[in-house]
Chain A
Amino acid sequence: MRKRWWWLVVGLSLLAVGAWLSRGEPDEAPRQATVVMPRAMTEREAARAQERSTLPAPPPPPAAPAKAPEPPRDPVLAMLPPKVETVAVVMEVNAIKNSDLGPLIVDCLGNDDPGFDLMRDAGFDAFEQVDRLGIVDEQLFITGNFQSFTPERLGRLSPTVDYGPDAVLYDPLRADGGPTGMHFGMWRKQLMVGGKDLDAIKASLDRLRAGGGSEPGVLSADEAYGEVYGVLEKKAIQELFDDADPKVADLVERTASRVRLHADVSHDVGVVADVEGNSPQDTEDLRGALTSALSLARMQAQATGQTQAAEVLSNAKALALRKGDGRFRLEAGLPYALLKTQLEKCAARRKAERADAGDDD
């Protein structure tokens, strides 16, 4: 009889132990980072583009048939040439600075760098007054608020020369008074363009004065989305793959003709690159080769215990767009947590370097 009750006691005891073991919640599983990919213009970006469209379009030629006037343009897009040799990329510096990673990027770049201090003395704070920064082949341009900027305060500057009603040109000089080979143009205290090719700078300022070139610029208004956007021509693409697997580099050289790039840096970093090839078959081959390269790199990262790299590579994809149109889309994402860690390291390293330099002084 006692034995029969013993089973009941065991059962009740086990029930209590089971309840004790089943208490609490498991830890929330770390979710796979989902990175926002800039595949199209958002409403916010469309509103931004609308606000920037302040430059009146050029008047139609007198002989042309009457049609509705063209809407105003974004000065930066109007300034761009119809074709580039290597690259035309625009970075939304102000948006990047105000992104979640912005403060860390500023710390990493070194807000206290003497070069930036010199600019501040001349009335221009690069971290506060720059809106956009871009590269067009060998030319660099910066947009922002240059109202308080007095280049003369930088010293070693050639006398400024007026170039049309809205622009000035000036050249920085070496310490011995000789030319540096660099030229700068300032347009309406809103846009500065610099480089070694004075004619290219003048051409840019001419397009701005005219409200745009006779042909559409290399980047259209529809393509101005993301925090980084632009186009890379064949030469620039080849340079990117210089250090890659020679087979892939060779395939890229033979097949890829242009890449249209968009990057979202608002929280994580999502990069979308639309790759245009010479022919549909070549493009498909390139897509397959890149996918295999990504897979192998991912497996290699997994095998060597580089879990973060493997996670990043698992987010990278080469997607077919439309069958046979000779294009494909490459997408890659860098999660916020990974970037934050890297940028914090960079900022700490920079701080240590500055401290060492201070000690040496």
Chain B
Amino acid sequence: MRALLAVAFDLLREARSRKWFLGLFAAVSLTLLGLSLFLRLEVVDGALSASRLFGSLLSADAQPADVALRPVFLTVAFLGYVLGAVFLVVACADFAPGLLSPGRIEQLLSLPVARWQLLCGTYLGLLSLAALAGGYGALGVVVLFGVKTGVWEWRLLWSAAFGVECFAVLAAAMLATATVVRSAAVSAGAALVLFVLGAIASAQKPIGEAIETPALRTLFGLAVAPLPRLGTLCIFACQVLEDRALDGRAALRLSAGALVFAFALLAFAVHRFERKDF
């Protein structure tokens, strides 16, 4: 376990030295700072009487602050999920190929660390990075709107958790791909294809109904059955912000399904990594 954590920590240290991640945290911080400086929300007794962004009046109609901000939080949750996943995939694409690069892999294998620990530690490091970025962004938005309007939407942290879970699946796909082809572009491409397939798997019911040939419909059902429902997780990330909207049991089940799929990919990656000669 200690070896696993050491590998994960090593990845975080490497991430800190990269400008990409400084950029990521700077971008999140700048967005939050910009919002805090230029968003003028006039709140009186829990009612949002007017909102201005960069001096322009967004809305002059007074309405309860939490009702008025609901679309804002939903947009943040949706964009955070989709853009966050895509950005992290692109930013982290070369970690696994870098791990397997000639020279470095030999040095790592000479250490008293098992191969599976090396791979799983790298995966844990990637997840920690995503959790830090997601948590920082979500907490920033919660605090910003909380201070300005008195509406503390802590459920945004749950939305961020769904986003991190989505990245957990994509990161496993990137690691598995890297054990087959040592290319950052192919790793990122595979993760993005899985992201799209995950969205298609989420819409398998309407797509299946639209396929007229029964054999084709069955084939489509079988093909998408093991895929994680990444689109549905995105819907959950938004629904968690609305009262009574989330089907908790389904959210738990599909989240577990996505995580188990990620572990399956990780197992395939370890299998491939164990058999590889360096």
Contact = CB atoms under 8 A, between A and B. Distances in A.
Contacts of A202: none
Interface string A18-34: 11111111110110100
Contacts of B245: 29-30
A308 B274 CA distance: 58
Contacts of B232: 26
Nearest to B45: A292
Interface size class of A (residues with CB under 8 A): 35 or more
Given A4-B274, A22-B226, A320-B60, A291 B47 contact: yes
Contacts of B200: none
B241 to A, nearest CB: 12
B261 A15 contact: yes
B116 A7 contact: yes
B271 A18 contact: no
A27 to B, nearest CB: 4
B140 interface: no
A296 interface: yes
A67 interface: no
Interface in B232-259: 232, 235-236, 239, 242-247, 250-251, 253-254, 256-258
B205 A25 contact: yes
Contact of B226 (A18, A287, A296, A320): A18
Nearest to B274: A4
Nearest to A15: B264
A295 B46 contact: yes
Contact of B63 (A4, A11, A15, A317): A317
A19 B271 contact: no
B260 A14 contact: yes
A14 B244 contact: no
Nearest to B64: A295
B228 A319 contact: no
A5 B270 CA distance: 10
Contact of B49 (A8, A32, A291, A298): A291
Interface size class of B (residues with CB under 8 A): 35 or more
A27 B239 CA distance: 12
B46 A292 contact: yes
A280 to B, nearest CB: 14
A67 to B, nearest CB: 43
A294 interface: yes
Indicate the member of A4, A287, A291 with the most B CB atoms within 10 Å: A291
Nearest to A12: B264
A17 interface: yes
Given A8-B267, A29-B239, A292 B225 contact: no
Indicate the member of A14, A22, A292 with the most B CB atoms within 10 Å: A22
A294 B267 contact: no
Interface string B51-70: 00000000011111101000
Contact of B247 (A13, A19, A21, A29): A29
B267 A11 contact: yes
Contacts of A307: 243-244
A18 B47 contact: no
A24 B205 CA distance: 9
A13 to B, nearest CB: 8
Contacts of B250: 24-27
Contacts of B260: 14, 17-18, 21
A298 B67 CA distance: 10
Nearest to A329: B61
A318 interface: yes
Contacts of A10: 264, 267
Nearest to B60: A320
A317 B67 CA distance: 11
Interface in A278-299: 287-288, 291-292, 294-296, 298-299
A10 B63 CA distance: 54
Contacts of B271: 4-5, 7-8, 11
A323 B60 CA distance: 10
17 contacts: A8-B268, A11-B267, A14-B260, A14-B263, A25-B205, A29-B246, A30-B244, A32-B242, A287-B62, A288-B47, A288-B49, A295-B46, A298-B67, A299-B46, A311-B243, A318-B62, A319-B61
Given A288-B49, A295-B47, A318-B62, 15 more contacts: A7-B271, A8-B268, A8-B271, A18-B260, A19-B226, A22-B225, A22-B228, A22-B254, A22-B257, A24-B250, A24-B253, A25-B250, A288-B62, A295-B45, A295-B65
Which 3 residue pairs spanning A and B have beta carbons closest together?
A: A21-B257, A26-B250, A11-B267
